[in-house]
Structure 1
Amino acid sequence: MNMLLTNGFSVLKMPRDFRPMTDDEFFYYCQENPDHKFERAADGTIIVMGQTGGETGKRNSELIIDLGIWNRSTKLGFVFDSSTGFILPNGAVRSPDAAWVAAERWNALSSDERKKFPPLCPEFLVELMSESDVLRMAEDKMREYIDNGCRLAWLIDPKTETVRIYRSDGSVQVIQGFDNTLLGEDILPGFAFTLSLLR
């Protein structure tokens, strides 16, 4: 098994005759390698994600705190951090920086499904770009989320203070400047996030 570093992350290249891992095999592979964070593309390619730097970690915390406070008051669902892998309908396993799943969808999962990578796409999620992220690849990932059932997704780039809002109807709205406030719309009723917290 070889490792190839491209655009700030590593892709594990498997031998030609390598059989892609099942969902369970991939889950246990991740548990056996706790010092690394992995995602899996729909074609079975395993992607090694870089560790979060201090600034990105601080920003992620601001998002999780506000989303968690809103969720505790509404009790509409459950909030997940960037350590959680979700098995999307296309077979990819992705770990957004922040995610929210409605209570009825989470409660419909079996106990085993909850303990491993939940087989669903969150209704709402956030990807917070770091210095090494490539915009084109981040946009592709956001479209993948929407294509797999996400209803509202925010792609936030602190470097340029730009937010791209992806909606289930396929539209993408670009907001420039961290003097704005993002709303949860009808997906997260009453939720608002002040972008200036990410400066």
Structure 2
Amino acid sequence: MSATTSPNLTLEAFLKLPETKPASEYINGEIIQKPMPKGKHSRLQLKLCNNINNVAENQRIGYAFPELRCSFGTRSIVPDVAVFKWSRIPFDADGEAPNDFLLCPDWTIEILSPEQSSNKVIGNILYCLQNGCQLGWLIDPSDRSILVFAPNQQPQLLQGSDRLLSLQEIDLNLSVEQVFSWLKMQSM
């Protein structure tokens, strides 16, 4: 993650800048570029979005967006997966998802990359919770654990057969080991 401090840059001015690849986030007056996703990260991100959407989209309960810019409060962040309850998706007049999401996700999921600072990522999750988010996951592929955050509660470190908490409306029913089993793409 590389950071650039722009002392007079506002959130509004940041949002007018061209997008970068990988995405940059605006946090506490700093522009911080996220690391380029690699194989394990991409695989987990896609499988999470697919599994959540398989349960939630057809019933119009919610939707998981990969790499969606969410701008709210004083930050503009790009969670690896941003899940919104259906009723909170700001559809446009044509019933399509808008380009700009100027609100906090209901559930934010981050997949830690080796070159990322866990505290900066946790800082984004906590900021989301302080602004109305109901759930946060920090997935750490290196030690096969998932740190689960809920408002006004201590984080829970889950591993192995521990069942994962999802939004109440989304009956995901996953264990930590099931999530990490998605990394295995060839049978042994």
Normalised TM-score (structure 2): 0.82
Query: Would you say 1:182 and 2:164 are equivalent positions?
Result: yes
Q: Secondary structure at the match of 2:138?
A: strand
- Comparing 93-102 with 70-79, greater Cα deviation is found at 70-79
TM-score (norm 1): 0.78
C-alpha spacing 1:164/1:109, structure 2 compared with 1 (3 Å):
farther
Deviations 1:94-136 (A, max 9, x none): 111111112222237789x9322x1111111211111112222
Name 2:10's counterpart in structure 1.
21
Q: Which runs of 4+ in 1 moved over 6 A?
A: 108-111
Structure 2 CA distance for aligned equivalents of residues 130 and 120 of structure 1: 25
1:131 equivalent to 2:119? Answer no
Deviations along 1:17-56, one digit per CA (max 9) or x if unpaired, are x521342x3233134x4x3411000x22111112111221
Structure 1 position 48 matched with structure 2 position 37: no
Partner-residue secondary structure (3-state), 2:170 = coil
The amino acid that maps onto 2:172 is F
Shift of 1:198: 4.1
What amino acid is aligned across from residue 171 of structure 2 in structure 1? G
- Residue 150 of structure 1 aligns to a residue whose secondary structure is coil
Aligned residues between the structures = 178
Q: Which residue of 1 aligns with 2:186?
A: none
- SS of 2:8's partner is coil
Q: Deviations over 1:118-168 (max 9, x none)?
A: 111111121111111222222222211211111011111111111111002
Q: Which residue of the other structure, out of 134, 138, 157, is the alignment partner of 1:155?
A: 138
8 Å CA contact retained: 1:184, 1:190: yes
Note if contact 1:146-1:170 (Cα within 8 Å) is conserved in structure 2: no
Between the aligned partners of 1:86 and 1:109, the Cα distance in structure 2 is: 16
Kept after mapping to 1: 8 A contact 2:141/2:180:
no
- For structure 2, which runs of at least 5 residues remain unmatched after alignment? 184-188
Cα separation, partners in 2 of 1:130 and 1:198, compared to 1, 3 Å = farther
Query: What 5-or-longer segments of structure 1 have no aligned partner?
Result: 1-8
Pick the aligned partner of 2:46 from 42, 61, 65: 61
Q: Equivalences for 1:31-110 in 2 at 5 Å?
A: 31=19, 33=20, 35-41=21-27, 43-82=28-67, 84-89=68-73, 91-107=74-90
SS of the residue corresponding to residue 47 of structure 1 reads: strand
**Which of the two has greater strand per residue?**
1
Query: Is the Cα–Cα contact under 8 Å of residues 30 and 38 in structure 1 kept in the other structure?
Result: no
> What residue is the counterpart of 2:129 in the other structure?
146
Higher relative contact order (CA 8 A, sep 6+): 2
Partners of 1:180 and 1:195 within 8 A in 2: no
The CA distance in 2 between the partners of 1:110 and 1:21, in whole Å, is 29
Q: CA RMSD in A?
A: 2.4
1:164 aligned counterpart, secondary structure: strand
Identity %: 19
Higher percent of residues as helix = 1
Distance 2:77 2:90 in 1: 20
